[in-house]
Amino acid sequence: MGTKEFNWPEALRNDRERTLTQLYKQTFPMVLHYVKRNSGTEQDAKDLFQDAVIIFYEKAVRGELTLTASASTYLVSICRKRWLRELHQRSHWESTEGQELDQAQPPADFELEKPESEPSLMEYVEQLGSTCQSILLSFYYFRQTMEQIAEQHQYRNIRTATVQKFKCLERLRKSVSTALLETFYH
Amino acid sequence: MRPELERIQLIEDYLYQRLSPTQTADLEVRLLIEPDLYEELEVQKQVYNLLQARGRRQLRSELEHIHQRLYGQPTYPWLAYILVGFLALAAGCWLMG
């Protein structure tokens, strides 16, 4: 975005919806164009692009993002690499019907690492109720600051919000612990 | 904060590598001799993985929402109204006639 360094982590933390909408509007048409021209569908383009934005978000808020060009260029290049790989896998699949797809691909930095969590545990996050859920996701996933979280939930100060955060974490840990014990004994 | 919460915070600081070298060494010794603490740490790791997975799902649904708002069938409602209007008119004519 221009010559001046745009602070993506800050923009994403301050107003995720607006920042992502802007990025979406600016970049998705290019990805769509590229994928459609290379034997893909609109659905392919959407899945590809959304994965790329997730990679971008996670890297940005963790301070792992080094942009050498604009964010749009970065996203398009992730999508291009992944789409080429996808096409390669599809053609490979067709030409070696029934054979094992070769699994020995090294994970690259444009990949989404697989979620390590049991899908069955997801419901415990839901059961926390909306306040706890929002505090925990805002802090641990969206990496917002405690100041922002305290303000969003109208806590008097960071300290109160932090105590609340640990109470929520304690509740979640309790239910996960019980669930894990149950699977262990069955 | 009550002691249970302090303990959760300590484990978190350890996992996020926010402890000093001395504190880290202390905790690592405690982990060897306190099986309960070790177990709590293992569960807490799972909890952070779970929040990562759940957060990603949330982000994906927000992106889907943005997509729908930007590109989701904008001409549809309008076409549907015309179609319904037309059908109503046709049905009316048929009933009358």
Q: Which residues in chain A touch residue B46, judged by CB atoms under 8 angstroms apart?
A: 117, 121, 176, 180
Is A104 or A155 the better-scoring residue by pLDDT? A155
Hey, what's the torsion of the CAs at A114, A118, A122, A125, to 10 degrees?
-100
B16–chain A Cβ distance below 8 A for any pair:
no
ipTM: 0.88
A93 touches chain B (CB under 8 A): no
Per-residue pLDDT reduced to its tens digit, B3-57: 999 999 999 999 999 999 999 999 999 999 999 999 999 999 999 999 999 999 9
Examine the pLDDT at A43 and tell me if it is beyond 60: yes
Q: What is the CA radius of gyration of chain B?
A: 30
Q: Is the pLDDT of residue A72 over 80?
A: yes
How big is the CA angle at A13 (ends A75 and A22), to the nearest 5 degrees?
A: 45
Residue contacts between A and B (CB atoms, under 8 Å):
102
Is the pLDDT at A174 greater than 60, yes or no?
A: yes
Q: Is residue A102 predicted with pLDDT exceeding 90?
A: no
Subunit contact B53:A122, Cβ cutoff 8 A: yes
Question: DSSP per residue over A27-42, as a string?
Answer: HHHHHHHHHHHTT--H
Query: Would you place residue A104 in the very low, low, confident or very high pLDDT band (cuts 50, 70, 90)?
Result: very low
Is A101 a residue whose pLDDT tops 60? no
CA pair distance A143, A60, nearest whole angstrom? 10
Evaluate whether A74 touches A40 at the Cβ level (below 8 Å). Answer: no
